[in-house]
């Protein structure tokens, strides 16, 4: 049982990739005040947790409820990742943080929650893992990895202060290219290429 849990934690750490979400979150929330950053982090983790929980307990029935399939979800997530990857790579901002903090906070939280934390790969893995390992171990592994992600997002301001802006910008450009590649991969998988 402990061995299965450790395997699932490693699997979901690779799939969810808290460090990638940290890099994207740090860049996307850079103009925000600390309190707004933390609210955005909490909202992103909450949305990811709710979505993961729904998938854990409802599985493919959730996709059927919305009259979609995992392939369509992959294409939609891929398009979002492409847009977000371009933004990160070029240092552009799609959100007017100063004028509309609440709206941009919700938009950034949604993008971090899905497709980054709980995207098509995570959803597929939750469905398969809950079938193979059971709901309890799968749910516990997801909770641990989302907890790690939450810590990274909540401490993003402090971590970026210690690291400095230049390494974060370099990391953002690299992660932007990787995000673009993920977007293309999701679209190709969704279209069956």
User: How many domains is the chain built from?
Assistant: 1
What is the average pLDDT across 58-64?
79
- How many Å is the maximal CA-CA distance in the chain? 50
Q: Which of 125, 173, 105 is nearest to 15 (CA)?
A: 125
Those residues whose C-beta lies under 8 Å from the C-beta of residue 8, and which sit 6 or more positions away, are 129, 133, 137, 138, 140, 141
Assigned domain for 10 exists? no
Assigned domain for 122 exists? yes
Residue numbers of the domain that contains 60: 19-191
Share of the chain above pLDDT 70, in %: 92
The rounded distance, in Å, linking the Cα atoms of 167 and 181 is 21
Residue 47: pLDDT band with limits 50, 70, 90: very high
Give Cα 49 to chain centroid, integer Å.
11
Per-residue pLDDT tens digits for 86-102? 877 776 655 444 444 45
Q: Which of 28, 105, 102, 75 is nearest to 189 (CA)?
A: 75
Residue 29 has pLDDT above 80, yes or no: yes
Assigned domain for 65 exists? yes
Assigned domain for 38 exists? yes
Name the CA radius of gyration of the chain, rounded. Answer: 16
Return the ∠ at Cα 137 (arms to 144 and 60), rounded to 5°: 100
Those residues whose C-beta lies under 8 Å from the C-beta of residue 37, and which sit 6 or more positions away, are 29, 156, 157
Assigned domain for 3 exists? no
Assigned domain for 6 exists? no
The rounded distance, in Å, linking the Cα atoms of 10 and 6 is 6
Give Cα 74 to chain centroid, integer Å.
14
Write down the pLDDT at residue 66: 78
Assigned domain for 78 exists? yes
Per-residue pLDDT tens digits for 5-24? 999 998 888 788 888 788 77
CB 67 within 8 A of CB 75: no
pTM, whole model, 2 decimals?
A: 0.72
The rounded distance, in Å, linking the Cα atoms of 53 and 1 is 21
Assigned domain for 8 exists? no
Write down the pLDDT at residue 147: 96
Per-residue pLDDT tens digits for 121-169? 788 788 878 888 899 999 999 999 999 999 999 998 888 788 877 776 7
């Amino acid at each position: 049982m402990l061995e299965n849990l450790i395997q699932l934690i490693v699997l979901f750490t690779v799939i969810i990739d808290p460090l990638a979400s940290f890099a994207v979150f740090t860049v996307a929330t850079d103009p925000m005040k600390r309190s707004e950053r933390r609210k955005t982090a909490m909202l992103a983790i909450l949305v990811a947790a709710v979505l993961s929980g729904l998938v854990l307990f409802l599985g493919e029935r959730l996709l059927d409820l919305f009259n979609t399939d995992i392939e369509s979800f992959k294409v939609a997530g891929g398009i979002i990742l492409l847009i977000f990857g371009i933004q990160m790579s070029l240092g552009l901002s799609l959100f007017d943080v100063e004028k509309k903090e609440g709206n941009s906070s919700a938009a950034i939280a949604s993008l971090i929650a899905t497709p980054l934390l709980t995207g098509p790969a995570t959803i597929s893995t939750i469905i398969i893992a809950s079938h193979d390992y059971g709901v309890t171990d799968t749910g516990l592994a997801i909770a641990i990895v989302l907890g790690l992600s939450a810590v990274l997002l909540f401490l993003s301001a402090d971590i970026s202060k210690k690291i400095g802006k230049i390494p974060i910008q370099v990391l953002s450009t690299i992660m932007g290219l990787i995000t673009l590649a993920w977007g293309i991969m999701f679209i190709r998988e969704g279209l069956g290429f």
